[in-house]
Structure 1
């Protein structure tokens, strides 16, 4: 008799990926920020790794990695900026839905799937950095609209480029390892 019982929560593999992902994204955010010229806004390669983890492990891992890595990074500089931490978690959650159509572990990666991934990451970036973070800064911290929307626009553009280049390369490299595994079968 087949069991239809579903397990709840994250798998051991997803928990490990979350912990390792938090560490890697924290290190990328903390020690590899590339200045943009807009105050408190950098080119963030950590977002590309969040995109990769979301694509492999889904929304929960994407959200948790983004939330905690951003929180720890902010704490390393001083006070946490909660509106951007929450926006990052929302980004990680949204990009995690790419796992549903990429199916990196079971299907070959196609150009169409990469285009879909990049369209999703563009939308997720616009929602998170172009809307949620600036509006949160205005409502929670009473920041000037011009300043925070400029920061949000710069973060949106740089994250789209970072994920579009580095995230796409990470996903492509990972997909090649998954396809190779399938080819290694016993005769």
Structure 2
């Protein structure tokens, strides 16, 4: 995989992180304590699908850490790392989604995006988050796996709906009319 990292990616990390932090306060409650549906995950998945694994992973890590610090006063690292994992894994297949090129309108790209986000969320929320909760914070096993499964289900729904819509919309409109260009 040939990957290019330049000014557009740096800007995407900065703006994406700021938006991720701003969206931290938008939380839809679930029946599981301390587990919410959060639209910020769709934004991160979209940025990962457009700009790749470094952007996706860093927006997840930095956005979650800064959001926790700003709104809650401390960082819950066992949930920061999984957001980075989700962004990284989704971003690994950015070239195949072809969002920037306007190719995210076919069933194959949309299916791949959603299969990868389910795999990424499963690894992050059913494995990584609960294990880190137990190792770092000595949280009860049954509690963390219930929360992890709740986060997994919530994130696949948010990314599956909002993330897919963001990618389709950008692929149809934004990819063809980018106003960013390199100056001489």
Does 1:132 find its partner at 2:128?
yes
Q: Shift of the alpha carbon at 1:39?
A: 1.6
Where does residue 7 of structure 2 map in the other structure?
Answer: 12
Q: TM-score, normalization: structure 2?
A: 0.89
Find the counterpart in structure 1 of residue 168 from structure 2: 172
Q: Does 1:54 align with 2:51?
A: no
Detail structure 1 runs of 4+ shifted over 6 Å in the superposition.
Answer: none
Q: 1:35 aligns with which of 22, 26, 29?
A: 29
- Identify the match of residue 69 of structure 1 among 44, 57, 63: 63
Q: Is 1:120–2:116 an aligned residue pair?
A: yes
2:83 equivalent in structure 1: 88
Once the two structures are superposed, the pairs formed by residues 104-115 of structure 1 within 5 Å of their partners are: 104-106=99-101, 108-109=103-104, 110-115=106-111
Q: Within the alignment, does 1:97 sit opposite 2:114 as a pair?
A: no
1:162 to 152, 155, 158: 158
> 1:100 Cα deviation (Å)?
2.2
Structure 2 unaligned runs (5+)? 179-184
Q: Does 169-178 or 155-164 show the bigger shift?
A: 169-178
In structure 2, do the counterparts of structure 1 residues 127 and 108 end up closer, same or farther at CA, with 3 Å as the change threshold? Answer: same
2:172 is paired with a residue whose SS is helix
After superposition, the C-alpha distances for 1:121-171 in whole angstroms (9 at most, x for unaligned) are 000000001110001111111110110001100000000000000000000
CA contact (8 A) 2:102 2:176 kept: no
Superposition CA RMSD, Å: 1.8
CA contact (8 A) 2:49 2:167 kept: yes
TM-score w.r.t. the length of structure 1 is: 0.88
Unpaired stretches in structure 1, ≥5 consecutive residues? 1-5, 183-187
**Matched residue, 2:182:** none
Name the structure 2 match of 1:185.
none
